[in-house]
Structure 1
């Protein structure tokens, strides 16, 4: 959990999906402001279709009825950024605003746009995001909640708003007023908005952000790619070393490694395939064994190999040899994490056996089975 409450963040964002019922905006805002402690957004964002955007504009942002402005005035809320630029209209593949979500292609596009919107709104560490599932189609709510599960941080929250009868689904109801306001409900009866109850139900969710590759947190992202990345750590690992192309692949993704790191990886991978135990890479025998793998990756008559050889031969003791291998191990770990994310990368990261002060503590191995490794030489 975060060190501070979401309400204590400088930037506080409310994000909703809406369809034909823009009332969920004012209902949710009312509920957030009346919970304990209150969460008063500094900005509101909507994701909706073309028709949903028009309904929101006319009912919430117009001069009359202007229900968003009325709510803020009735409850003396501080300034909240919410205008037409905060309404994100979903688009089809050609960039045309969607009037509705009817086809599988529309669903896929909506999922990707909601994923990017949540990703973008969670990049600011000074912000807390509150996502509401109260409005929009069921698929939109699902996609929005799943996107928050993928990118949400400890300070972010997910909720649904509940409205008491007979006000639920009534077009004339937008929030409980601090004064008498009589409306006709959906069943034709009269009711006073001041008597309505609006409650916020917080929804727990699993946070998967730490397991995603850094690239998905920065660049273009689709929901399918984010879901695949989150699920990757649940799959059996598969490591491919292509020596002819000097490439490393894990989970069918290319891992960017330097030749010396490739030699280190090849060394430990072949030991797994040969059924050999962990290697104590601080001793002279291990260093000499590693040099034979350096010759397989680097030109044995070239400058890179000569520098590798000199660096190992100049080590005066076991500790200096350990210091030589340490940075290469760290760079391999970083390369796998960049491509796969931390959780999925852990299946490939060079491991150390034993416990501190044990004789085997400085022995290293690749945490894979022989049949999970393929070494291509042609």
Structure 2
């Protein structure tokens, strides 16, 4: 049975970036699949490393007779985890040769592109859940893996770092705590017992930006640099202004046209936010519908039939349904037009039923009327 943490996904991927310490693979797998209360048993494991790191991983983890990955699986009954040598991916230089280490800015870019490629690819499979470990490799590799997961990761995906207590963290012969404890020798030739080993998995929260990234960046192979540039170009200075004749709002430099009734409702809330020094959120039953109708008249004209119809609807004042309908429609339009910055400009809900209030999060100095 697949445990809760796996969420029922048929493809469960563990991706690790490693350097010269392949032990992080078995330590992370042990923490996830054996030690954790909510176990994550991967269906496949992938490793990204340099040439030397990949060779160490193949020999120490996957050797048919002495491989520590196979030993861990046998000892703890972990079955059907796909981890062939082909799943150890070597970062290549511009000529297609394996990188022996990451030492130059060009090497860093190659490592970034390589990592982004795999994380984008794995996150594009709707049947998958991805767990990324940044415990091994150079710090830049861990950064790129975490950054890539922030760009493309979904709700189900996770980021972690495995921690091992001294002296086992730096012990070449320690890969995981065996069921039957044994004595190992530290670098200073001091005997230590594996029963004293402690493996801890630190879950790392990360901001998920996937919902705001253009679909073309999610679908096509783009370099790390190009991805960051394109995402950055979508993040604008937070400011709000209005064009009354065009019935459009300008959010950080991007214009969004709204239907007249929605434009009037949004303008009314913005005016409230400015006039009340940022305390414009209002309960539907406390709001003065005449104030809104005056703003609506500024938008459509005092002789407009739509103004007359709206005045008839609101003859007994506002109700919650009117508020929530306008809020929902406006927020959908803003989210579609500003996938990255929508939350700054959408109408927010404050408090709980029956005391809900509605208003803007923007400060008065961010709003130009």
Task: Give the structure 1 partner of residue 209 of structure 2.
Answer: 208
Instruction: Tell me the SS of whatever aligns to 1:136.
Output: coil
Instruction: Decide whether aligned partners of structure 1 residues 338 and 103 sit closer, same or farther in structure 2, where only a CA change above 3 A counts.
Output: farther
Contact 2:5 2:39 in 1 (8 A): no
TM-score of the superposition, structure 2-length normalised? Answer: 0.66
Task: Give the structure 1 partner of residue 8 of structure 2.
Answer: 9
Matches within 5 A, 1:130-145: 130-145=131-146
Task: Give the structure 2 partner of residue 110 of structure 1.
Answer: 111
For 1:282 and 1:5, locate their aligned partners in 2 and report how far apart those are by CA, in whole Å.
54
Cα distance per residue 1:56-83 (max 9 Å; x no partner): 0000011232100000000011210001
Deviation at 1:115, TM superposition (A): 1.2
Task: Give the structure 1 partner of residue 25 of structure 2.
Answer: 25
For 2:119 and 2:337, locate their aligned partners in 1 and report how far apart those are by CA, in whole Å.
21
Instruction: Tell me the SS of whatever aligns to 2:169.
Output: coil
Contact 1:229 1:340 in 2 (8 A): no
Task: Give the structure 1 partner of residue 284 of structure 2.
Answer: none
Matches within 5 A, 1:41-52: 41-52=42-53
Deviation at 1:181, TM superposition (A): 2.6
Matches within 5 A, 1:196-275: 196-224=197-225, 225-226=227-228, 228-229=230-231, 232-235=234-237
For 1:126 and 1:172, locate their aligned partners in 2 and report how far apart those are by CA, in whole Å.
36
Matches within 5 A, 1:294-373: 341=339, 343-344=340-341
Task: Give the structure 1 partner of residue 40 of structure 2.
Answer: 39
Instruction: Tell me the SS of whatever aligns to 1:168.
Output: helix
Deviation at 1:252, TM superposition (A): 11
For 2:189 and 2:229, locate their aligned partners in 1 and report how far apart those are by CA, in whole Å.
46
Unaligned runs of 5+ in 1: 239-249, 256-260, 262-276, 287-316, 319-329, 350-367, 371-378
Whether 1:184 aligns to 2:215 is no
Contact 1:13 1:127 in 2 (8 A): yes
Deviation at 1:206, TM superposition (A): 1.2
Cα distance per residue 1:195-251 (max 9 Å; x no partner): 31111111111111111111111111222323641562343689xxxxxxxxxxx99
Task: Give the structure 1 partner of residue 59 of structure 2.
Answer: 58
Whether 1:69 aligns to 2:33 is no
Contact 1:213 1:337 in 2 (8 A): no
Deviation at 1:162, TM superposition (A): 1.1
For 1:339 and 1:97, locate their aligned partners in 2 and report how far apart those are by CA, in whole Å.
43
Instruction: Decide whether aligned partners of structure 1 residues 191 and 76 sit closer, same or farther in structure 2, where only a CA change above 3 A counts.
Output: same
Task: Give the structure 2 partner of residue 357 of structure 1.
Answer: none
Matches within 5 A, 1:156-171: 156-171=157-172
Task: Give the structure 2 partner of residue 173 of structure 1.
Answer: 174
Contact 1:5 1:155 in 2 (8 A): no
For 2:120 and 2:228, locate their aligned partners in 1 and report how far apart those are by CA, in whole Å.
10
Instruction: Decide whether aligned partners of structure 1 residues 72 and 346 sit closer, same or farther in structure 2, where only a CA change above 3 A counts.
Output: closer
For 1:18 and 1:216, locate their aligned partners in 2 and report how far apart those are by CA, in whole Å.
26
Aligned residues: 310
Deviation at 1:45, TM superposition (A): 0.6
Deviation at 1:123, TM superposition (A): 1.2
Cα distance per residue 1:79-123 (max 9 Å; x no partner): 100011111111122322211111111111211211121111111
Instruction: Decide whether aligned partners of structure 1 residues 251 and 62 sit closer, same or farther in structure 2, where only a CA change above 3 A counts.
Output: farther
Contact 1:215 1:338 in 2 (8 A): no
Instruction: Tell me the SS of whatever aligns to 1:233.
Output: coil
Deviation at 1:185, TM superposition (A): 1.4
Unaligned runs of 5+ in 2: 241-250, 258-293, 311-328, 347-365
Instruction: Tell me the SS of whatever aligns to 1:82.
Output: coil
